[in-house]
Amino acid sequence: MKFSLSWLKQYLETEATVEEVAAKLNAIGLEVEGIEDPSEKLTGFRVAKVLTAARHPDADKLQVLTVDTGDGQPLQVVCGAPNARAGLVGVLGLPGATVPANGLVLKKSAIRGVESNGMMCSTRELELGEDHDGIIELPEDAPVGTAFADYHGADPVIEVAITPNRPDCMGLYGIARDLAAAGLGTLRPIEQLDIAGEFPCPVEIRTDDPEGCPAFYGRVIKGVKNGTSPQWLQDCLMSAGQRPISALVDATNYVMLAYGRPAHAYDLAKLNGAVFARRARDGETVLALNEKEYTLDSDMTVIADDSGVHDIAGIMGGEHSGCEDGTTDILLEIAYFDPERIAKTGRKLNLTSDARARFERGIDPSFLDSGLAHLTRLIQTLCGGEASEVVRAGAAPATPKIVHFDPVLTEKLGGVSIPLEEQQRILEALGFVAVAEQAGFDKAWAVTVPGWRPDVDGAPDLVEEVVRIHGLDKVESVALPRTDGVARPTATPAQKQERRVRRAAAARGLQEAVTWSFLPQVEADAFADGNGGLWTLSNPISEDMKVMRPSLLPGLLSAAKRNLDRGASSLRLFELGRRYLRGKDGASDERMALGVVLAGDKAPRGWATGKAVPFDAYDAKAEALALLAEAGAPADKLQVMGEAGPQFHPGQSGTLRLGPKNVLARFGMLHPTAARQFDIDGPVALVEIYLDAIPGKKGAATFARVSYAPPALQAVTRDYAFLVPVELPAGDLVRVVQGADKVNIVAARLFDDFRGQGVPEGQKSLALEVTLQPLEKSYKDEDLKAITDKVTAAAAKLGAVLRG
């Protein structure tokens, strides 16, 4: 809502300045979005008097004026306005001034060879009206030489954001009422009008859709003369940001802006027979006033006559039956439409309008007759004409809402103690009527809600009314009760895991990124792994943000690509976030994952290390294992297996599993085809850890560790080299060797993988260092031989032969 201060003062008797009004509006919940001071844009314009006017020597339509600006020396100005003449007092824009309408900065110039020192302005040029037929003519006694802003009177415009619960404040009167309740002045009552009809209404009016249009009142005014509306009305509309159109249209807009009451005026000559509210027919079309055609359906209410639809009810009138300059007879419509239907229709048609905004929030059902009377009087004042009797089809919901309100609730919920009389005063100033339900006013009240407050339907709403008008700043802070002792830990195991893994990754040199949850379709498809389908938005903001990510890797790859394009040479990115899968019963299944992308150089070229070293699959494996361990996975029990997915290099990738089925992570090199899809050159190593797949710790947490004392005897190491088939995974050999003697062998570490001279074709030599821990006494030769035998026998099961 935008309005000028002077317009507000038509309803609110107050001496308050614009700053005081704005502060109060903010304090009572009508947020001020801006204050425009129109005098600012009139800087450089001055009241000036034309002394002489002579034909321009080289142009028929131009005149050369001498203009008195009050400075003594008259200025020469070239002017094209037909009404420019000696003796006229008008408005002169001096060099340096900016014309409000077009932003042009005036300067001294020569027009067709004649010097011109400014511009005589029209109302349109100064955005004070629509008139552009000639220059402004001020009264003859206007003080020449004064700044036009001062002469015109600065009328500041306030813009207020109206929350959707306050349709009453979508009329200026409602705002005035709130301000008056808050003590900023006295509300002038709305005049009770009854304009008697001079003849029966010649048009049949009815509602065939009492659900969508419970009430449709109308009357005809004959013999009106449409035209330009008077300046005061134009000023009001322009302060509200509306363009004046014609007296008839401006009058309906004025009633809407002043009282929040939309209405519509039809050109009676363009109507045909009875006018009635009905449901639209599927596929029926209407050309609306915005010159767009809308296709309607049977859920929508319209106003129609025998020849067709003239109005999308409560939203926008039709182009064909609107008032024009030549209109002489009109039908006024003032109706009550079902707010939900208006909202649905508006949404379906994607059509917003001032009327819709008010109807869908709920207009005052008790203001139909008054609204019609005020509109009638305004039209008659502006355009003359004779009004018919009012026809009333249906009735607006009339039962006033009564809310049971215990004023004690104000303190209980609002945290501020307000005397009962003050609570009552506030409610009544806002139009509520509060009556004690039983003896004793401190007991529950029955509060009647005025028709213009559809938002109020419970006691907490009344607490809000009382507290906001009383002043939220009077609510004192009260500490939340605190439990004894220091704060208890509140994080869940999953939250602790997430925090730990995040900081572990950062400590390992990885940089955390936060990327979009949505991906382009192709990238999501490339990483979809058959979880029952991707989540695809119906209304994405762009094709690049369309599908919810099934993996963290595509987003990180795109981030890597952007960085590489910017010249980054080494990237270690990670992200901790959700993957979006399909869950039970149509719900989503959102799982925490950690993605890592390593791209570019692992180590740059160096004076000691030589050429730059690229990342490889073992770097990915190292990150996967380290971060899994930090996440609480049993790192010693993990198995490296295949099937990392088609996005990975088939020979340089793997999964880390706990048992054959439970995949905790996948890692390896990006498949060259996928690299091409992301337009990345060079090798990229990837890790994705499924945090949700890591089994939680069983039982209650204890702080005491399993007891341990370092063994007294020194551990010994033995090296074993085996010949094995080339295709045997080294990890399998390590695992069987480690398990060959669980009492003595505490560790087995592979330190050599050799193929070539001395090793038969199709085989490789794997060397392990095995750590043995004697417990009670040192090993004797026969002990060591027995262990070696066990190791050899275990390895033999994999086809491994101990080298001599």
Partner 1 sequence: MSDIEQLKAELLGAIGEAADLAGVEAIRVSALGKQGSVSGLLKTLGKMSPEERQVEGPKIHALREAVTAALGARKDALESAALDARLASETIDLSLPAPEMPKGSVHPVSQVMDELAEIFADMGFAVATGPEIEDDWHNFTALNMPETHPARAMHDTFYFPDRDAQDREMVLRTHTSPVQIRTMLSEGAPLRIIAPGRVYRSDSDATHTPMFHQVEALVIDKDIHLGHLKWTLETFLKAFFERDDIVLRLRPSYFPFTEPSVEVDVGYANEGGRRVVGGSGDEPGHAWMEVLGSGMVNRHVIKAGGLDPDEWQGFAFGVGVDRLAMLKYGMDDLRAFFDGDVRWLSHYGFSALDVPTLSGGVGTPA
Under 8 Å CB-to-CB from 89, ≥6 apart: which residues? Answer: 47, 48, 49, 50, 137, 138, 139, 140, 142, 144
**237, 559, 689, 766: which one contacts partner 1 (CB under 8 A)?**
559
Residue of 25, 401, 399, 3 whose CA lies nearest to 180: 25
**147, 343, 351, 786: which one contacts partner 1 (CB under 8 A)?**
343
Comparing CB distances to partner 1, the nearer of 275 and 576 is 576
**88, 221, 390, 573: which one contacts partner 1 (CB under 8 A)?**
573
Asked if 774 touches partner 1 (CB under 8 A), the answer is no
CB of 779 to partner 1, least distance (A): 40
CB of 216 to partner 1, least distance (A): 21
Stretch that binds partner 1, among 2-10, 533-541, 655-663, 772-780 (CB under 8 A): 533-541
Asked if 508 touches partner 1 (CB under 8 A), the answer is yes
**195, 510, 689, 724: which one contacts partner 1 (CB under 8 A)?**
510
Size of the site for partner 1 (CB under 8 A): 104
**186, 272, 381, 511: which one contacts partner 1 (CB under 8 A)?**
511
Asked if 503 touches partner 1 (CB under 8 A), the answer is yes
Three-class secondary structure of residue 718 per DSSP: strand
Positions 454 through 473 that interact with partner 1 (CB under 8 A)? 455, 458, 460-461, 463-464, 467-468, 472-473
Asked if 416 touches partner 1 (CB under 8 A), the answer is yes
Asked if 9 touches partner 1 (CB under 8 A), the answer is no
Asked if 532 touches partner 1 (CB under 8 A), the answer is no
Asked if 361 touches partner 1 (CB under 8 A), the answer is yes
Q: For 80-156, where are the E strands, in sequence order?
A: 89-93, 109-111, 114-116, 119-120
Residue of 580, 586, 585, 598 whose CA lies nearest to 692: 580
- What is the rounded CA–CA span in Å between residue 62 and residue 53? 10
Asked if 344 touches partner 1 (CB under 8 A), the answer is yes
- What is the rounded CA–CA span in Å between residue 710 and residue 730? 30
Could you tell me if 114 and 56 are in contact, meaning their C-beta atoms sit under 8 angstroms apart?
yes
Asked if 222 touches partner 1 (CB under 8 A), the answer is no
Q: What sign has the CA pseudo-torsion 267, 273, 278, 283?
A: negative
- What is the rounded CA–CA span in Å between residue 573 and residue 166? 49
CB of 580 to partner 1, least distance (A): 6
CB of 443 to partner 1, least distance (A): 17
Structure tokens at 401: 């809402």
Stretch that binds partner 1, among 26-34, 51-59, 97-105, 745-753 (CB under 8 A): 26-34
Stretch that binds partner 1, among 88-96, 444-452, 537-545, 629-637 (CB under 8 A): 537-545
Stretch that binds partner 1, among 97-105, 124-132, 584-592, 754-762 (CB under 8 A): 584-592
Q: For 346-415, where are the E strands, in sequence order?
A: 386-387, 391-394, 402-405
Asked if 31 touches partner 1 (CB under 8 A), the answer is yes
Asked if 512 touches partner 1 (CB under 8 A), the answer is yes
Under 8 Å CB-to-CB from 641, ≥6 apart: which residues? Answer: 654, 655, 656, 657, 660
**607, 703, 710, 742: which one contacts partner 1 (CB under 8 A)?**
607
Q: In what order do the strands lie in the sheet with 445-448?
A: 402-405, 445-448, 433-436
Could you tell me if 252 and 383 are in contact, meaning their C-beta atoms sit under 8 angstroms apart?
no
Asked if 548 touches partner 1 (CB under 8 A), the answer is yes
Could you tell me if 216 and 68 are in contact, meaning their C-beta atoms sit under 8 angstroms apart?
no
Three-class SS string for 293-337?
EEECCCCCEEEEECCEEEEECCCEEECCCCCCCCCCCEEEEEEEC
CB of 553 to partner 1, least distance (A): 13
Residue 784 backbone dihedrals phi, psi, to 5 degrees: -65, -40
Q: What sign has the CA pseudo-torsion 715, 720, 724, 726?
A: positive
Positions 700 through 759 that interact with partner 1 (CB under 8 A)? none
| Single-letter amino acid, residue 627 | L
Comparing CB distances to partner 1, the nearer of 412 and 742 is 412
Asked if 441 touches partner 1 (CB under 8 A), the answer is no
CB of 756 to partner 1, least distance (A): 31
Under 8 Å CB-to-CB from 592, ≥6 apart: which residues? Answer: 494, 498, 576, 577, 578, 691, 692
**132, 499, 676, 780: which one contacts partner 1 (CB under 8 A)?**
499
Asked if 111 touches partner 1 (CB under 8 A), the answer is no
- What is the rounded CA–CA span in Å between residue 693 and residue 657? 10
**269, 398, 408, 413: which one contacts partner 1 (CB under 8 A)?**
413
Asked if 792 touches partner 1 (CB under 8 A), the answer is no
Query: What is the biggest distance separating any 2 CA atoms in the chain, rounded to whole angstroms?
Result: 132
**287, 398, 435, 507: which one contacts partner 1 (CB under 8 A)?**
507
- What is the rounded CA–CA span in Å between residue 695 and residue 539? 38
CB of 721 to partner 1, least distance (A): 32
Asked if 537 touches partner 1 (CB under 8 A), the answer is yes
Positions 159 through 178 that interact with partner 1 (CB under 8 A)? 163-166
CB of 711 to partner 1, least distance (A): 34
Stretch that binds partner 1, among 66-74, 207-215, 548-556, 705-713 (CB under 8 A): 548-556
Residue of 594, 595, 529, 590 whose CA lies nearest to 560: 595
Tell me the helix, strand and coil percentages in the chain, rounded to 5: 30, 30, 45
Structure tokens at 529: 């792994």
Positions 235 through 274 that interact with partner 1 (CB under 8 A)? none
Asked if 477 touches partner 1 (CB under 8 A), the answer is yes
CA–chain centroid gap for 419, Å, is 40
Asked if 535 touches partner 1 (CB under 8 A), the answer is yes
**28, 65, 126, 737: which one contacts partner 1 (CB under 8 A)?**
28
Comparing CB distances to partner 1, the nearer of 131 and 406 is 406
